[in-house]
């Protein structure tokens, strides 16, 4: 695993040298644009529409658009002057809080933290203390010239860091259009909905969730590589259920049947999704 950052955790007067690794990876199937005539990958050039010519790297400067069509130029010296005021090699712990206090909407990217030395005495001390108290740490860190808030917590036998959004980076729900008012709901429908949630409640097992699109696309690509004919299954027509109660009762019956036959549940074909009109 590639070390992407080295620094230290600042814990009071204690500094814990650590190495940071990306804990997740993007496995999306990616495509490149090719020239249809010869299958050569297309290159994109940087051009200036005003001067109508291609621009080299040394002709490009950074600009902040403070209003449409108006920019202030930011030089490398400007950026360095700001960077010098920020400690870029320290994860500074500022508070300890309960994990339940942070809504998941704030979480962004996850990283593993490992001690730089093989003994890791201070690392083990912090990990044990956080385990014993059940607390997580809120910290500040600068990665790639961006200062972020972060949450440090214990995951199995490792300290992990989750970068978290600042409050002003989370859009207020008042901007979401069309949210229904908090009105009374039908009690019978609510009872069935609660039963449905109960029937679908299970222990979280991440291994049972698959990216069906990625698996199907990978299989299609492998078939093309092998020179086999690609067969596409016809779409299954969707069934529209207009009545909410009918949809709830049908879903509840389906989950009861599946729960009664756990051995065959994994083999059961995906049923037609019901839409509520």
153 shares a domain with 97: yes
- Comparing CA positions, the residue from 89, 163, 152 lying closest to residue 123 is 152
107 shares a domain with 19: yes
pTM for this model (two decimals): 0.69
Report CA-CA distances (Å) from 79 to 5, 145, 262.
20, 9, 60
- Comparing CA positions, the residue from 127, 133, 115, 132 lying closest to residue 154 is 127
The range of the structural domain enclosing residue 253 comes to: 187-196+240-259
191 shares a domain with 117: no
Name 214's Cβ contacts closer than 8 Å, sequence gap at least 6: 27, 28, 29
Residue 54 per-residue DSSP state: E
From 11-25, 125-139, 160-174, the region with the lowest mean pLDDT: 11-25
**For 243-260, what is each residue's pLDDT tens digit?**
777 877 888 888 777 777
Report CA-CA distances (Å) from 101 to 131, 155, 171, 174.
17, 18, 19, 21
61 shares a domain with 147: no
149 shares a domain with 164: yes
Of 171 and 249, the one with more pLDDT = 171
**For 99-124, what is each residue's pLDDT tens digit?**
999 999 999 999 999 999 877 888 99
Residue 233 pLDDT greater than 60, yes or no: no
């Amino acid at each position: 695993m590639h070390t992407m950052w080295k620094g230290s955790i600042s814990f009071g007067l204690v500094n814990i040298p650590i190495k940071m690794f990306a804990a997740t990876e993007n496995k999306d199937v990616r495509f490149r644009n090719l020239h249809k005539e010869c299958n050569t990958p297309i290159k994109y050039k940087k051009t200036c529409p005003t001067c109508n010519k291609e621009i080299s790297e040394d002709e490009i400067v950074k600009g902040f658009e403070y209003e449409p069509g108006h920019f202030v130029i930011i030089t490398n010296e400007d950026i360095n002057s700001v960077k010098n005021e920020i400690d870029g090699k320290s994860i500074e712990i500022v508070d300890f809080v309960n994990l339940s206090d942070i809504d998941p909407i704030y979480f962004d990217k996850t990283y593993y933290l490992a001690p730089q030395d093989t003994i890791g005495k201070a690392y083990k001390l912090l990990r044990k203390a956080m385990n014993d108290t059940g607390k997580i740490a809120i910290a500040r860190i600068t990665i790639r010239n961006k200062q972020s808030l972060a949450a440090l917590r214990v995951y199995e036998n490792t300290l992990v860091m989750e970068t978290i959004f600042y409050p002003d980076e989370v859009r207020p729900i008042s901007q979401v259009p069309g949210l229904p008012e908090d009105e009374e709901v039908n009690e019978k429908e609510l009872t069935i909905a609660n039963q449905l949630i109960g029937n679908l409640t299970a222990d979280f097992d991440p291994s049972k969730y698959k990216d069906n699109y990625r698996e199907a696309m990978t299989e299609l690509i492998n078939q093309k590589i092998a020179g086999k004919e690609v067969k596409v299954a016809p779409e299954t027509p969707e069934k529209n259920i207009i009545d909410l109660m009918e949809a709830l009762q049908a879903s509840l019956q389906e989950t009861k049947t599946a729960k009664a036959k756990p051995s065959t549940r994994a083999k059961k074909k995906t049923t037609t999704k019901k839409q509520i009109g």
